[in-house]
Amino acid sequence: MRTLRLTSLVLVVVLLATAGCLLPTVSITDPNAQATILAVTVDAAVGQTQVAAGTPPTATLSPTVTFTPSSTPTASLTPTSTLTVTPLVIFTVTPFVPMISVSVNTNCREGPGKGYNITGALLVGQTAQVFARDPTGNWWLIRDPDGNEYCWVSDLYGTLTGYTDAVPVYTPWPTPIPTYTATPSPGFDLSFDGLIECSGERWVELKLENTGGVTFESVEVFVKDLNNSNSVADDSNNFVDNFDCSSTRSKSQLLPGKNAVVSSPSFTWDPSGHKLRATVTLCDERDLDGECIEDSITFKP
């Protein structure tokens, strides 16, 4: 029996050596696979030995070969195309009718220029339709928002909307020649109107007639006796006439085309038969201010 076992062992070793020479070389890096192959080889050898010795072979369960991946694959999704979004284009429709509005109240004139008369105005918050423009493109013809007349506004403070390229160019009439208004000139006539005597006092009456276009507001009377060089003078903002011993009349103004009588200051001497010279100054403002003119006459009372 011991001889049989020794013989079997030797036979197994010989078989293993022979199998190593006959089998193709397989390189297996998995340890589980190597153990499995070794086990199958040994079992085969033992089976053959048992068959040779007359012993029935014994069934042996080989371990299940398990493959463990060395790494876990990671799924990677590669996009095949890129979606490009095109923005929606919004078109703004420009109003066709040309209109104008202003940021500052603007005069509306008879023509395109400050030399023309003002006929109306385009106010802030108002809009007006444009019908024409001047050759410079700086003035626009509109209909007066407060009336039915056409007039011109400057675009200095204006904002235009609508299609203005088709607005016709209008060549205006020349700037009107300004009407010259002559400055009224002052003028008056002076004359002797009598000598008044009352209770030992005497004065002369002087008549004034306004021949100019200016209203006089103040007066000064100066009378000199050329025989003895005596004189009297007075000024007032009223035209006072002491026409008798008990009555007085007065005017606050001497209007153009009107007349008035003023009394000189009273004399302390008797000027009867003497040669007198009266000088009167008239001014268009009170207190002998403004524009003044004077006139003189020589007479004998």
170-197 confidence digits (pLDDT tens): 887 776 666 667 788 999 999 999 999 9
Q: Judge whether 137 lies within some domain.
A: yes
Q: Judge whether 182 lies within some domain.
A: no
Place of tokens 């403070």: 157
Q: Judge whether 88 lies within some domain.
A: no
pLDDT for position 26: 45
- 3-state per-residue secondary structure call for 31-88: HHHHHHHHHHHHHHHHHHHHHHHCCCCCCCCCCCCCCCCCCCCCCCCCCCCCCCCCCC
Range with the lowest mean pLDDT among 3-17, 107-121, 153-167? Answer: 3-17
Q: Let me know whether 145 and 193 are in one domain.
A: no
Q: Let me know whether 141 and 193 are in one domain.
A: no
With a cut of 50, say whether residue 59 has pLDDT above it.
no
Q: What percent of the chain has pLDDT over 90?
A: 52
pLDDT for position 96: 83
Q: Let me know whether 213 and 151 are in one domain.
A: no
| Most confident range, picked from 69-73, 92-96, 162-166, 248-252 | 248-252
Q: Are 159 and 103 in contact (CB under 8 A)?
A: yes
Q: Which of 53, 74, 90 is the last residue of a domain?
A: 53
pLDDT for position 8: 52
Q: Let me know whether 192 and 291 are in one domain.
A: yes
Banded model confidence at residue 292, pLDDT cuts 50, 70, 90: very high
> Residue 107's domain is classified under what CATH number?
2.30.30.40
**Mean pLDDT calculated for residue range 285-297:** 95
Q: Which of 222, 237, 195, 194 is nearest to 294 (CA)?
A: 222
pLDDT tens-place string over residues 88-127: 555 555 568 999 999 999 999 999 998 899 988 999 999 9
> Whole-number mean pLDDT of the chain?
78
Q: Let me know whether 212 and 291 are in one domain.
A: yes
Banded model confidence at residue 23, pLDDT cuts 50, 70, 90: very low
Q: Are 47 and 8 in contact (CB under 8 A)?
A: no
Q: Compute the residue count for the chain.
A: 301
With a cut of 50, say whether residue 49 has pLDDT above it.
no
Q: Judge whether 168 lies within some domain.
A: no
With a cut of 80, say whether residue 201 has pLDDT above it.
yes
Instruction: For residue 262, give its domain range.
Output: 188-299
> Residue 258's domain is classified under what CATH number?
2.60.40.2550
Q: Which of 156, 168, 169 is nearest to 122 (CA)?
A: 156
Q: Judge whether 247 lies within some domain.
A: yes
Q: Judge whether 237 lies within some domain.
A: yes
Q: Let me know whether 222 and 290 are in one domain.
A: yes
pLDDT for position 234: 95
The two tokens of residue 122 are 């385009």
pLDDT tens-place string over residues 129-151: 999 999 998 999 998 887 778 99
**Mean pLDDT calculated for residue range 150-178:** 85
Q: Judge whether 67 lies within some domain.
A: no
Q: Let me know whether 145 and 226 are in one domain.
A: no
pLDDT tens-place string over residues 227-273: 999 999 999 999 999 988 888 999 999 999 999 999 999 999 999 99
Q: Let me know whether 195 and 148 are in one domain.
A: no
How many independent structural domains does the chain possess?
Answer: 3
Q: Let me know whether 150 and 192 are in one domain.
A: no
Q: Judge whether 179 lies within some domain.
A: no
pLDDT for position 51: 42
Range with the lowest mean pLDDT among 77-86, 160-169, 244-253? Answer: 77-86
pLDDT for position 88: 58
